Amino acid sequence: MADDPLARFARLGIRREQDLLLHLPLRYQDETRITPIAALRPGQHAQVEGEVARSEVTGRGRRMLVAELRDASGTLGLRFLNFYGSQLAQLAPGRRLRVSGEVRGGLLGLEIVHPRYRQVEPGEPLPTRLTPVYPSAAGIGQAALRAAVRKALRAHPWPETVPAGCLRELGLPAAAEALRFLHAPPADADLHALEDRSAPAWRRLIFDELLAQQLSLKRARAARAERSAHPLREASGVERLRAALPFRLTAAQARAWSEVSADLAAAQPMNRLVQGDVGSGKTVIAALAAAQTIGSGMQAALMAPTEILAEQHFAKLGPWMAAIGARIDWLSSSLKGAAKRAVRERVAAGEVDLLVGTHALIEDAVVFPRLGLAIVDEQHRFGVAQRLALRGKGGPLPHQLMMSATPIPRTLAMTYYADLDVSVIDELPPGRRPVLTRLVSEARRDELIGRVRAAVAAGRQAYWVCPLIEEAGEEGSAVPAPGAGAAPPGAPRGARAARVRREALELQTAIDTHARLSEDLAPLSVGLIHGRLPGAEKQAVMDAFTRGALDVLVATTVIEVGVDVPNASLMVIEHAERFGLAQLHQLRGRIGRGTADSVCVLMYRAPLSPTARERLKTMYETTDGFEIARRDLALRGPGQFLGARQSGVALLRLADLERDAVLAEAARTCAAAMLSSDRQAEIDAHLDRWMAGREDYLKA
């Protein structure tokens, strides 16, 4: 590896020389012209050339390096608040420098603070093209990147892979021409168009990226269609279950079920995502799918990301499965020894029709003799490898049903989930009451204590959600927890250490909050639940809250999904500004499940960052999960919205799905045309350019 000239670029995702061509500039510097010092104006970004007239280190406490640069028209101050020893020699009097940066007014005249500079010879020619500035990392300089890119441009001619008709309709240039332009734009290039990526060259590469993603997903979908699965067509169990349900399906549920049922009856494996807002009734679709599977003589498995959610599913599905004579069982990591072995043995013997559980379902020791349906709830919380591991438990490929209460905007779904069929439940069951949302400063905490007391006096219960703890806040400063100290000696380092510290801080915060509220709300009964509690204790706390033995439940985000207590009508989310929109929406969905009016109070600490203010404003203005998802996408972009390693689809590096919606639609059309014609060589070459070696891309 040490002999590999590209090894130093691996941290930038560059593993092959041609990958350098797609390592595109963040911005550009105009080093093609020199501005006389006398013509400079404050606020201007400019390049000047002159000789260092003097330089010195000043100050007693905070020392700085100051220098004076002189050309034929005047002098300019250069100031370095942080400097290193070699700069004293580089800025010695008599050195001729080319300097660039933002000009500002100083005490002694115009100056540039921390300018970029390099030594030049008198009469050295100026560049004729804009200078690219690339994404970089520690130890990787711009000069090295520029030289490597220039070499790659010479070595790789980048032959065309996209049909001329697709390019002609969009007015896009050739790929090789676009690459040369973006890596070395001419001096008269439109900087504004380059910076906002509206230049034709940017649009060409954005289109190519979207096309590569569509080709990979559509090809995966076509490959799946050629595989066989057990057709599950027996509907008697479904009819019995629907007759036993205490409610009628909504129109949206009936539509989604019709789509799922038809997929199950096919001889090709289903790969369908059912998405709907919190409380829209996705679980009954899963139950009906399990009933059709079991009625056809096969087994079903349902995997959920948390033990609480899995237990809720087990409790809800148990009576429904009993109504059709199906055998349901439960498996999680908290089950130990003989109990766990007994469940595995029953599953392997075919004595379990529906197995519900957590990640424990994908352990090697779990064997399904006839798995026909794999259900994954809150699918975005699992990595693609985990979802595939559950599906891999079957002989012939099982049908797969995924569910998500984090709605994906239509454009995002069509682009990221082109290998999936998507069903949408876009209405709530009758009787679900809207939740009022209130924004309250933490200075009014005592008022909230009174509000909790009033809710309990009226016979209701309340949640009090503890704040998230992050290693760094939005503004880059640490977010401490009350009473929390440093990580213990010998604690793990790196990302795992950060997670351990964060979990420890959140646990301490939950404990402190519970102690404080137990005192403030006495004599009310206040419970505590968090992720570190053993499974049995966690279930005992939830059971106590569900039957009304606890008035208030202090909780971390462990209750974000799956908790259903109809008598809980008040939720206080402390430090709500630290939560993302999806989490706030999920948490709010835990109330409003009974007959009483429900209120969610978002308690915040001022001042708020612009992003936090926009999130809280969104939660106050709407309860529509699809609208919240749309705004969340606009705030965070698709990478953070989906989760960097969760979707199983390579994240877009260049495209913005809202800005580039027209190109996304064109890419879908072009991909379909390429796959239906004899263009296999071009497809392979295009995918190799954009996808080969990507760590976040997994062919599934």
Sheet with 299-303: list strands edge to edge.
328-331, 354-357, 299-303, 371-377, 399-404, 271-276, 421-425
Question: Is residue 630 in some structural domain?
Answer: no
In a shared domain, residues 398 and 463: no
Task: Say which CATH number the domain at 398 has.
Answer: 3.40.50.300
> Could you tell me the two tokens for 467?
């704040």
Distance CA 281, CA 116 (A): 59
In a shared domain, residues 471 and 417: no
Q: Is the pLDDT of residue 699 over 70?
A: no
Under 8 Å between Cβ of 605 and 633: no
> Could you tell me the two tokens for 369?
């003799």
Residue 439's DSSP bridge partners are: 602
Supply φ then ψ for residue 119, to 5 degrees. -80, 140
Lowest mean pLDDT across 246-255, 325-334, 487-496: 487-496
Q: How many CB atoms are closer than 10 A to CB 586?
A: 22
Under 8 Å between Cβ of 30 and 130: yes
- State whether residue 94 is helix, strand or coil: coil
- Which of 393, 425, 457 is the last residue in one of the domains? 425
> Could you tell me the two tokens for 674?
């390429």
Residues in the chain: 700
Lowest mean pLDDT across 240-249, 465-474, 532-541, 625-634: 465-474
Question: Is residue 143 in some structural domain?
Answer: no
- State whether residue 401 is helix, strand or coil: strand
In a shared domain, residues 357 and 261: yes
Question: Is residue 390 in some structural domain?
Answer: yes
- The per-residue pLDDT for 653 is 82
Q: Which of 384-393, 551-560, 691-700 has the highest mean pLDDT?
A: 551-560
> Could you tell me the two tokens for 504?
């420890």
Distance CA 65, CA 82 (A): 8
Give the CA distances from residue 176 to residues 152, 172, 180, 372, 666, in Å, rounded to whole numbers and listed in that order.
Answer: 12, 12, 6, 48, 20
Q: How many CB atoms are closer than 10 A to CB 260?
A: 23
Q: Which helix (H) or strand (E) holds 300?
A: strand 299-303
Domain extent for 255: 236-425
- What average pLDDT is seen over the chain? 85
What does the pLDDT look like over 296-305, one tens digit per residue? 999 999 998 8
Please state the domain count of the chain.
3
In a shared domain, residues 320 and 458: no
Under 8 Å between Cβ of 374 and 392: no
In a shared domain, residues 546 and 587: yes
Distance CA 99, CA 112 (A): 9
- The per-residue pLDDT for 479 is 35
* Percentage of the chain modeled with pLDDT above 70: 86
Q: Which of 186-200, 251-265, 329-343 has the highest mean pLDDT?
A: 251-265
- Within 13 Å and on the Cβ side, how many CA atoms surround 352? 26
- The per-residue pLDDT for 342 is 95
Q: Is the pLDDT of residue 102 over 80?
A: yes
Q: Taking the mean position of all CA atoms in its chain, how far away is CA 16?
A: 27
Q: Which of 459-468, 535-544, 624-633 has the highest mean pLDDT?
A: 459-468
In a shared domain, residues 91 and 110: yes
**Mean pLDDT along residues 533-542:** 84
Higher pLDDT, 562 or 573: 573
In a shared domain, residues 417 and 446: no
Of 595, 543, 544, 590, the C-alpha closest to 570 is 590
Under 8 Å between Cβ of 333 and 285: no
